[in-house]
Structures are given as C-alpha cells and as structure tokens.
Chain A
Amino acid sequence: MTWLAIAGSAIVTYVIRAIAFRVAMPANVPRRVGRYLDALPAAIIAALAGPAIVVPNGAPTRGPELIAALVVIGMVVWRRNLLAGVLAGVATVALLRLVLAA
C-alpha cells in the first residue's frame, strides 16, 4: 500500500514536471487558471494542517495544538524561518501538554 502510494506519487510528480518540458504548452495560460494553480498547493497544505490542529491524533484538541499553531504563525512571520517556527511550535505543544497533564 505504502509502496503503491510512493510509486504513484513519484510517477504523477514526474509526469507533471516532464510534460511541459516535452510538449508545447500554450504560451499564455489563462490568467485565472494560473492564479488557481498558484494558490492550490498552499490551500491543500493548509487543509491538511487544519484538521491536525483541531483533531490531533484523532481526538479533539484540549488547546495546546491550537495555541502552538498561533505560535508557529507568529514565529514564521517574525523570523521568516521554517525551522524556528517548527521548533517553537513543538516546544509549545510539549510544554502545554506537560502543564495540562499536571
């Protein structure tokens, strides 16, 4: 199953990359299509993040993930650095879970 998913993902990713290198594409894609494709990846990734914040590991959040999400946003806006945001988020979650468990 996992291997099928990896092989399938590798194939579609390569076909997308290769197709326009090989075949002539219309010189100018309609502006609206271009803007849609431009916005698509972030939207899909945001759609994966939303549920992981609100229903982490399958159970509704008790708060830590929600607060940590805001910390990540703040940190990345401030530092423009992915790792800084991730570390801040992970530390916040760990700390808040510790507090909640106490």
Chain B
Amino acid sequence: MLVSVLVVAIPFGIVASRSGLSPAESMAMSLFVFAGASQFAMVQLFADHVAWPVVVATVLLINLRHLLMAAALRPYFARVSVARRLAAAFVLTDEAFAMAIGWFRRGRTEIAYYVTFAVALYVLWNTGTAIGMLVGPAIGEPRRFGVDFSITATFIAIVVLGVRRRTDALVAVVAAVLAAALAYLGASVVAVVTAGALAPLLVLATRGEPDA
C-alpha cells in the first residue's frame, strides 16, 4: 500500500510540472492539500483556466467523504488531546482511514498505528511528487507522446479502481457521459462539475444493494 502511493504521486508530479504549474505550486498542493484525486482534478481545472472558487468547490465535493471517515475514527481518539486530534486530521486520507479502521475494529486501541501509517503516506506522497517534478521536464513534447492524456487516464483508473458495486459503475458512466455531452455543447466547467455532483442521486433511486 505504501509503494502504491509512490505509483500515484510520481505521475502527479509529472503532470503537474508538464501542465505549466511552477514547482512551488505543484509542491504546495502535495504539502498542504494532500489529497490525491483532488490534486489531479486541480491540475485539470488549472489547465482549463477555471476561476479559483470553482477549483475550491470541486475539491470540497471530492473530499466531503472525509467527514464520514473522521466521524468513524473519532471514538478511538476520544482520550487524545484536541491539538493531537487536529494534527491527526491533517493526515487523514482514504488509505490511512482504511488501515486505521481495520486496526481498531480488530480491538486494538493504539493510535500510534494510525499516526505512523498516515505520516509515512504523507512523506511518500511528497517525495513522489518531487521525483515526478524532476522527471517531468525530461519527457519530450507532451502532445506527441500522449502525456497530456495521462491526467485523463489517471481519472479513469481512479474511478475504475473505486468500483465496488454495480451502481458505482452506473453512476460513473452517467456522470462521464453527461459531462462529456455538456462539454461538447460548450457548457462551462461549472455545469460539468454540477452534473457530476448530481449523478450520485441515482444511487438513492436504486434499492439498497448489499455492501460488497
């Protein structure tokens, strides 16, 4: 799991450096936002010259799920000081959540496990970003080598890897097709992102499938 972080972080560094962002901007995203899918989305939106509130709103929507993850972890941090809890929140990611919740559900209580794992992810994510930024400029003309497609390919891969139920695939296809049609007709990025935000309503229309 730790190595797989590098596998995503290095491409992030490459696409960020190839998309015209400065090294400081690329690095700041990994250091301060520290959210994989959001950072790829940000690079795409910067390339589309979207206004900053749209970027922030998109990131907000992508990361809203952490609200539920933090709520699930909170009971295990009940005896930890507020300052430490707020520090633990900074390094909360899908991966850290998955490892920690598994650990706690096995009856363990040491939060050092979460902290160690989450901080390791943070260090690797930033190391990978830096490596990608160094390698990126060495790759030749982006369009000729299809490098401009790497963000799109990463989006597709993230979505496919996240499919656990049939409705997940349905929602993703509807969101992609709806957004593509809107963009083809010349709609703004705001409309496209809104279409994406509305697509999961389909899930609510379906009867609850058992969790995979």
Contact = CB atoms under 8 A, between A and B. Distances in A.
B171 A50 contact: no
B34 interface: yes
Interface string B155-168: 11111111100011
Contacts of B62: 40-41, 44-45
Main secondary structure on B side of the interface with A: helix
B36 to A, nearest CB: 10
Interface string A45-60: 1111111111111001
The 6 closest A-B pairs by CB, nearest first: A47-B196, A51-B183, A20-B70, A89-B153, A50-B176, A50-B180
Interface stretch (B39-47, B99-107, B119-127): B39-47
B24 to A, nearest CB: 9
Nearest to A8: B56
B204 interface: yes
B147 interface: yes
Nearest to A25: B71
Interface residues of A, number: 71
B88 A21 contact: yes
Interface residues of B, number: 96
Contacts of B136: none
A14 B178 CA distance: 30
Given A4-B52, A37-B67, A42-B159, A9 B59 contact: yes
B7 A82 contact: yes
Interface of B: 4, 7-8, 11, 21, 25, 28-29, 32-35, 37-38, 40-42, 44-46, 51-53, 55-56, 58-71, 73-74, 77, 82, 85-86, 88-90, 92, 143-163, 167-168, 171-173, 175-184, 192-193, 195-197, 199-201, 203-204, 208
B204 A13 contact: no
Contacts of A38: 65, 68, 203
Given A9-B38, A20-B67, A46 B32 contact: no
Contacts, number: 296
B148 A49 contact: no
Question: Chain A CB within 10 Å — which of B4, B51, B160, B181 has the most?
Answer: B160
A44 B61 contact: yes
B183 A46 contact: no
Contacts of A29: 68, 71
Given A6-B29, A21-B70, A52 B55 contact: no
A1 B50 CA distance: 10
A86 B70 contact: no
Contacts of B199: 39, 43, 46-47
Contact of A49 (B8, B156, B182): B156
B38 to A, nearest CB: 7
B35 A13 contact: yes
A9 B40 CA distance: 12
B168 A86 contact: no
A87 to B, nearest CB: 8
